[in-house]
């Protein structure tokens, strides 16, 4: 089924607000059989909006509008839809009662302007929006559908998941695209390719793609079928094959993030963690603590931007003198020192040069990652393109993945 998105708002055209809704919706369409053909961003201009919407309604099976459902004069999506269908907007008493109730709950008087949010046209069904004051419309005529979605991302996402997606699943048959992404670490792209090649050969459905990403090599399995069930059945043997071939190199699937995997593995093994970082400057610890509940396994960390702080944390000063602060030896000493210093089972260290300048004769982009664990200490040397934000991001991600690798290899057992 052909789909189209119309994002409404002059603030999007002025570059003041980024349109994140279109991308979010776009990534959800394939799994319900919608094929996105166009995204159009248009301002709060009734003539332009009506023209864009009219073209979309004609050429696409499903048109999704984002935004323009507010109570102000600039909110024109309802008016444009009514014009495209040649229908009149009237106030729906049940919507008005609901809206008055929302304001009563907020202990506010309802401004007169909000009445327009209770408007509806004959071809529209109202979809309740418990997150805001703008109900969505599901408009259907001649086999074409327009769905008006609220602009605030939290409302739009809630409406998609609870109101819109289930209705689309009922109506759309066929062209279902299911994907499953496996995230690996510790192998090169070529090695991954060799190890799974027998699984896909020249198949285009299900299809297996291999991609190099900042957090390792991804395998993406894609199945296209007439129904969910059928697509799942096509994916299943491929998934089993990938698990069999790559087993312990897989650190996560789909939306898994390295910091969540670290949390899961530490919790499973009953281990605590401390960090000591120089070039990542707090980003490593900041990422670890993005996970709710991380205080249960994360003891704390040290940002050792100067050498005397490394020494104060327990790094032997002769290690720094002899090998330099950016060295394999220093990374190992830092990881071990922070375990003792902060009383943790595992220590994760990062020492490197984020740039733009060299440090102690070491060029920007060089990073050493140390993992200390009850069974010993391991160090990984990485070289990244010497751009500061990139070095910080890659080094923090790779440090987490190196810890995942060590924990999965089982050497971190107490």
Q: Is 355 in the site for a second copy (CB under 8 A)?
A: yes
Q: φ, ψ for residue 276 (rounded to 5)?
A: -140, 120
Please compute, for residue 106, the number of CA atoms within 13 A of its CA located in the half-sphere on the CB side: 14
Q: Is 353 helix (H, G, I), strand (E, B) or coil?
A: coil
Contact (CB, 8 A) for 278 and 300: no
Enter the tokens of residue 322. 């002899």
Q: Is 392 in the site for a second copy (CB under 8 A)?
A: yes
Q: Is 36 in the site for a second copy (CB under 8 A)?
A: yes
Which is nearer to a second copy, 15 or 201 (by Cβ)?
A: 15
Task: Please give the Cα distance from 242 to 45 (Å, whole number).
Answer: 51
What's the residue count for the chain?
Answer: 414
Report the residue from 114, 275, 327, 397 that binds a second copy according to the rule CB under 8 A: 275
Q: How far is CA 127 from each of CA 50, 93, 110, 166, 344, rounded to the nearest angstrom?
A: 22, 15, 21, 12, 51
Q: Which stretch binds a second copy (CB under 8 A): 29-37, 101-109, 141-149, 369-377?
A: 29-37
The strand pairing partners of 370, in sequence order, are 349, 379
Report the residue from 1, 253, 303, 390 that binds a second copy according to the rule CB under 8 A: 303
Report the residue from 388, 390, 409, 411 that binds a second copy according to the rule CB under 8 A: 388
Q: Which stretch binds a second copy (CB under 8 A): 235-243, 329-337, 341-349, 371-379?
A: 341-349
Q: Is 209 in the site for a second copy (CB under 8 A)?
A: no
Q: Is 67 in the site for a second copy (CB under 8 A)?
A: no
Q: Is 259 in the site for a second copy (CB under 8 A)?
A: no
Cis amide prior to 206 (ω within 30 degrees)? yes
Which is nearer to a second copy, 199 or 353 (by Cβ)?
A: 353
Q: Which stretch binds a second copy (CB under 8 A): 76-84, 136-144, 182-190, 281-289?
A: 281-289
Task: Please give the Cα distance from 150 to 66 (Å, whole number).
Answer: 6
Burial class (CB in 10 A: 0-12, 13-18, 19+), 306: exposed
Site string for a second copy, 307-326 (x = CB under 8 A): -xx--x--------------
Report the residue from 30, 54, 314, 324 that binds a second copy according to the rule CB under 8 A: 30
Residues 6+ away with beta carbon under 8 Å from 46: 76, 79, 80, 83
Which is nearer to a second copy, 239 or 259 (by Cβ)?
A: 259
Which is nearer to a second copy, 126 or 179 (by Cβ)?
A: 179
Task: Please give the Cα distance from 156 to 22 (Å, whole number).
Answer: 10
* Site of interaction with a second copy (CB under 8 A): 12-16, 18-20, 22-30, 36-43, 48, 52, 275, 280-290, 292-295, 298-306, 308-309, 312, 341-343, 354-357, 388-389, 392
């Amino acid at each position: 089924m052909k789909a189209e998105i119309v994002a409404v708002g002059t603030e999007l055209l002025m570059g003041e607000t980024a349109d994140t809704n279109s991308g979010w919706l776009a990534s959800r369409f394939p799994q319900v059989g919608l094929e996105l053909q166009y995204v159009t961003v248009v301002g709060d201009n009734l003539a332009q909006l009506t023209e864009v919407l009219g073209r979309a309604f004609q050429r696409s099976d499903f048109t999704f509008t984002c935004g323009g459902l507010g109570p102000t004069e600039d909110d024109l999506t309802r008016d444009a839809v009514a014009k495209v269908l040649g229908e009149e907007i009237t106030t729906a008493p049940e919507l008005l009662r609901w809206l008055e109730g929302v304001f009563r709950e907020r202990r506010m008087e309802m401004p007169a302007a909000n009445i327009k949010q209770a408007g509806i046209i004959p071809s529209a069904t109202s979809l309740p929006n418990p997150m805001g004051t703008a109900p969505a419309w599901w408009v259907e005529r001649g086999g074409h559908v327009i769905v008006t979605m609220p602009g605030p991302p939290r409302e739009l996402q809630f409406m998609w998941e609870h109101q819109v997606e289930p209705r689309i699943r009922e109506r759309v048959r066929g062209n279902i695209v299911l994907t499953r992404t496996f995230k690996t670490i510790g192998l090169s792209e070529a090695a991954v390719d060799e190890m799974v090649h027998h699984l896909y050969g020249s198949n285009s459905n299900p299809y297996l793609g291999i991609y190099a990403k900042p957090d390792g090599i991804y395998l993406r399995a894609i199945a296209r079928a007439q129904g969910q069930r059928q697509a799942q059945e096509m994916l299943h043997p491929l998934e089993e094959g990938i698990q069999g071939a790559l087993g312990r190199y897989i650190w996560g699937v789909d939306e898994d993030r390295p910091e969540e995997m670290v949390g899961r593995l530490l919790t499973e093994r009953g281990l605590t963690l401390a960090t000591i970082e120089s070039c990542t400057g707090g980003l490593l610890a900041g990422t670890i603590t993005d996970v709710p509940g991380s205080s249960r396994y994360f003891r704390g960390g040290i940002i050792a931007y100067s050498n005397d702080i490394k020494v104060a944390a327990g790094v032997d000063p002769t290690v720094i003198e002899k090998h330099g602060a950016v060295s394999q030896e220093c990374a190992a000493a830092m990881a071990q020192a922070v375990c003792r210093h902060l009383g943790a089972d595992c220590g994760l260290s990062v020492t490197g040069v984020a740039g733009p300048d060299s440090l102690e004769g070491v060029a920007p982009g060089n990073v050493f990652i140390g993992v200390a664990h009850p069974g010993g200490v391991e160090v990984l040397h990485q070289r990244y393109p010497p751009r500061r934000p990139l070095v910080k991001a890659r080094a923090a991600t790779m440090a987490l993945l190196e810890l995942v690798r060590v924990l999965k290899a089982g050497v971190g057992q107490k």
